[in-house]
Amino acid sequence: MENQKIGCYICTGCGIGDLLDIKLLEDMATKESRIPVVRTHAFLCGEEGLTTIRHDMQNEAVNTVVIAACSPRVHVETFRQLEAPLLDRVNLREQVIWVQHLKEEDDKDVFEEDRQMAAEDYLRMGCAKVKKMDPPEPFDDPGLSKTIMVVGGGVSGLTAAKEAADTGYDVVLVEKDAELGGRVAQMLKVSPVKPPYDQLEQPPTAALIAAVEGHDKIKIYKKATIKETTGAPGLFDVKIEYGAGEYSTGEDSTGEDSTGEDYSTGEDSTGEDSTGEDSTGEDSTGENSERIGAIVVATGYTLYDETKLTHLGHGTSPDVITAWEFEQMAKAGNIVRKSDGQPAKRVAFSLCAGSRDVQHLEYCSGACCTYSMKQALYVTEQYEDASTFLIYQEIRTPGQMEDFYRKVQNEGGVFIKGDINKVASGSNGGLTVDINDKLLRTPESLDVDLLVLATGMMPNIDTTDPNQETDLSASDANSVLNLQYRQGPSLPLLKWGFPDSHYICFPYETRRTGIHAAGPVRRPMGISSSMTDATGAALKAIQTVESIGRGAAVHPRVGDLSYPSFRVDGCTQCKRCTEECPFGAINEDDKSNPLFNPTRCRRCGTCMGACPQKIISFSNYSVDMISTMFKECEIPEEDEEKPRILIFACENDAYPALDMIGHNRGILTPYIRVVPLRCMGSMNLVWVADAMSAGYDGVLLMGCRHGDDYQCHFVRGSALAETRLNKVAETLDRLQLESERVKMIEVNIMDSDILPDKINAFVDDLEAFGPNPFKEF
């Protein structure tokens, strides 16, 4: 940073001034780190402390602020209001004075010396860090759009479109069918969503459709498919092919001329040629291009293939039907046996038909219980002498649906916890269903007119392999968005086909920035939950376009204005950055050089960690910066018997866990030095070599849980770090050091109670190896 002037402010509050020699810290910052402005204050986070810093910024030309006080995870907004071009925090409270306590067996002088050394090292690192930083310049593009595209016109899509439009954003709604409403519009009734939660209600789709079709902020494409999605958040260019019945309301969100009329005439509002030959025919089609800011995928669900449920009797009789077939039968007002047309007064419902079954769908489909109970009421409403039997594993009716459960019980619904053993034709027509009753622990046999299978939900999403480049012209290709990413056209999916995301912390986000999933395509859920879910996804899409408009990152580094730069002249075209980026932020040109998309980036630094040439860096985060930080720490002589352990801690889970040890007044060894990383995926192997060469006795990496049940905020960072670490043995062999001196452990944010033991165990291992022989150099 040109004309950088650093101000270092050391807080003496919260016991820092009582337990540390503040004068030594001041002298170290002034004389050793050569910081021109160094001040202390008893309450930096108070108005008087902030005024002190502001005074120096205005009158002493301080443009870089180092605050040595509490954890960077607290008082974030307090210090953000300083609006310093560069600001960094040094954690003297949670990770020094609150975790180092004098024990009876300790030598007081040695203990205090170790604690003071830790504080001085952290301050050295903080001062060195800011010297390697430049103020980030946010990405900007005059073509950025805040229009939100919703894919899917069912209850989830309609809700997302309406909520976004009601907030004032232009919306493009794309529906593959000729009419809006999806499956819910085809239902007779739905489960209750309002008190007293015991009466079936009309589907909410009619009101939603009317609101959406009459909204001047919503442009609708029907009988439409997305042919191609290029670009990035704020700059998505989406080609939409539509058929007869597509129409628009409001102005054209792309800024191009729009007729505002029904596009079923085959005319293209963007001026492109329509693909339809007959401009007035029923089968005419057109193609438009829309500039989109963020996307909500609300394509709903498909039902599990009932032909695979032969163990539940499907295929043995026409009277074994699916819940969807039964819904259409009830809507027609004629609940009868399909085999002979006789009234179906005795109906059995098989819940979890194919769900929670390792041979079929391993997960719960969320809404089958309430859906089957609703259909049981259809039977009792049509026939006064009806009998219904609901065969279940566990009844799941969360929230107010418990009242609905009691309603069905009171209406005569018989709930049987058990398994269906056999389904056969009955002697007088209908079926005989043999059941193993798990509560009574006896076999039972039911004579029924129909057996209704509540087949499970499956996401209505891509069938292409999301991890392979796919030929979209192939007959089996079915990508909803047809993304033009080097990683392929599809959203990365979980093993059950749902879009991948950090389920706990960021449920609506997919692994493609700016693309959000909502409703049953995200996870199995019912109608009420889908509408709530769609509202959440719409809000996330709004947050995305607003963040992108400011040049800022979205989750989890919300507000981060930095993004990586690439020194392309040093690139060896190894493709590691493009292949390892979890979010598809980097494409390649025809020479395999990286092509970076700034608004796709989530600022994790995985590309920086992947690059063997160190050509990728952020203005405020780089390989050189981290190396410089830990090299600033003093390494005791070999004969002092004071080991030094360098810890690289993920800032999302491991660093908070370390802070929690301090808040709980736990104890950590004074020999560790912690360097927080944006993500363990940003860990570059050169840091390991540099640390060992600098004399550290060991390096401990603290990453998030990875695998199928990962908790990594950046999805793959921790897993990638472990893969890279497998190569570190070669580095240590060259240095003639034990490979066990470098270790990686998984740390959950709630692991503060067991983390000290894990660290101590690593220290014990290092003591067995003895000091790092490089100390003497």
- Domain-by-domain residue ranges, the chain? 1-137, 148-300+461-549, 303-457, 565-616, 635-777
Would you state the torsion angle of the CA atoms of residues 149, 152, 156, 161, taken in this order, to the nearest 10 degrees? 30
Query: What backbone phi and psi angles, to 5 degrees, belong to 450?
Result: -140, 145
Give the domain 148-300+461-549 fold: FAD/NAD(P)-binding domain (3.50.50)
DSSP string, 225-279: EEEEEES-TT-EEEEEEE-TT-B--SS-TTSS----S-GGGS--TTSPPPS-SST
Query: How far is residue 759's CA from residue 698's CA, in Å, rounded to a whole number?
Result: 11
pLDDT at 362: 92
**Residue 277 neighbours by CB under 8 Å, 6+ apart:** 284
Query: How far is residue 745's CA from residue 754's CA, in Å, rounded to a whole number?
Result: 12
DSSP E strand stretches across 311-378: 320-322, 346-353
CB 481 within 8 A of CB 515: yes
pLDDT at 734: 78
- Region of 11 (left: φ > 0; alpha: ψ -120 to 50; beta: rest) is beta
Give the Å distances, CA to CA, from 687 to 131, 134, 158, 629, 683: 19, 21, 50, 11, 8
DSSP string, 640-675: G----EEEEEETTTHHHHHHHHHHTT----TTEEEE
Helices (H), 368-507: 368-382, 401-410
Residue 435 carries which DSSP code?
Answer: E
Give the domain 635-777 fold: Rossmann fold (3.40.50)
Tens digit of each residue's pLDDT (9 = 90 or more) over 205-224 = 999 999 999 999 999 999 99
Domain 1-137 sits in CATH 3.40.50: yes
Tens digit of each residue's pLDDT (9 = 90 or more) over 706-717 = 887 888 999 899
DSSP E strand stretches across 258-341: 286-292, 294-297, 301-303, 320-322
CA Rg value for the chain: 31
CB 238 within 8 A of CB 225: no
Tens digit of each residue's pLDDT (9 = 90 or more) over 63-110 = 999 999 999 999 999 999 999 999 999 999 999 999 999 888 889 999
CA 492 centroid distance within chain: 12
Element (H, E) at 37: strand 37-41
Burial of residue 515 (CB within 10 Å: 0-12, 13-18, 19+) is buried
CB 380 within 8 A of CB 346: no
pLDDT at 244: 60
Closest residue by Cα to residue 235 from 293, 289, 173, 290:
293
- Look up residue 406 and give its two tokens: 């009691």
Closest residue by Cα to residue 108 from 11, 19, 203, 241:
19
pLDDT at 467: 43
pLDDT at 264: 34
Quick check: bond before 459 cis, omega within 30?
no
Average pLDDT per 10 consecutive residues for the chain, totaling 777 residues: 94 97 97 96 96 97 98 96 96 97 89 96 98 95 96 98 98 96 97 92 97 97 96 97 67 40 36 38 75 97 95 94 97 95 96 93 93 97 95 91 94 94 89 95 95 96 53 52 91 86 81 95 93 96 96 92 94 94 92 93 96 96 97 88 94 96 96 97 94 94 88 91 86 83 94 96 92 80
CB 461 within 8 A of CB 454: no
User: Quick check: do 148-300+461-549 and 565-616 share a fold?
Assistant: no
- Look up residue 483 and give its two tokens: 């993304």
pLDDT at 248: 57
3-class SS string, 680-737: HHHCCHHHHHHHHHCCCCEEEEEECCCCCCCCCCCCCHHHHHHHHHCCHHHHHHHCCC
For the chain, the average pLDDT equals 90
Sign of CA dihedral 626, 632, 638, 642: negative
- Look up residue 41 and give its two tokens: 């204050």
Query: How far is residue 474's CA from residue 534's CA, in Å, rounded to a whole number?
Result: 32
CB 253 within 8 A of CB 290: yes
Give the Å distances, CA to CA, from 139 to 55, 144, 234, 292: 30, 11, 11, 17
pLDDT at 246: 60
CB atoms within 10 A of CB 48: 10
pLDDT at 208: 97
Query: How far is residue 718's CA from residue 580's CA, in Å, rounded to a whole number?
Result: 12
CB 588 within 8 A of CB 486: yes
Which residue is it, tokens 């239902």?
A: 187
What residue type is assigned to position 732 of the chain? L
Residue 376 carries which DSSP code?
Answer: H
CATH code for 303-457?
Answer: 3.50.50.60
Global pTM value: 0.90
Element (H, E) at 51: helix 47-59
**Residue 54 neighbours by CB under 8 Å, 6+ apart:** 82
What residue type is assigned to position 611 of the chain? C
Closest residue by Cα to residue 762 from 634, 671, 689:
671
pLDDT at 271: 36
Q: Which residues pair with 446 in a beta bridge?
A: 433
Closest residue by Cα to residue 747 from 652, 621, 620, 623:
652
Which residue is it, tokens 């996330």?
A: 540
Closest residue by Cα to residue 513 from 567, 564, 556:
556
| Strands 616-617, 565-566: pairing kind | antiparallel
Query: How far is residue 645's CA from residue 317's CA, in Å, rounded to a whole number?
Result: 70
Give the domain 565-616 fold: Alpha-Beta Plaits (3.30.70)
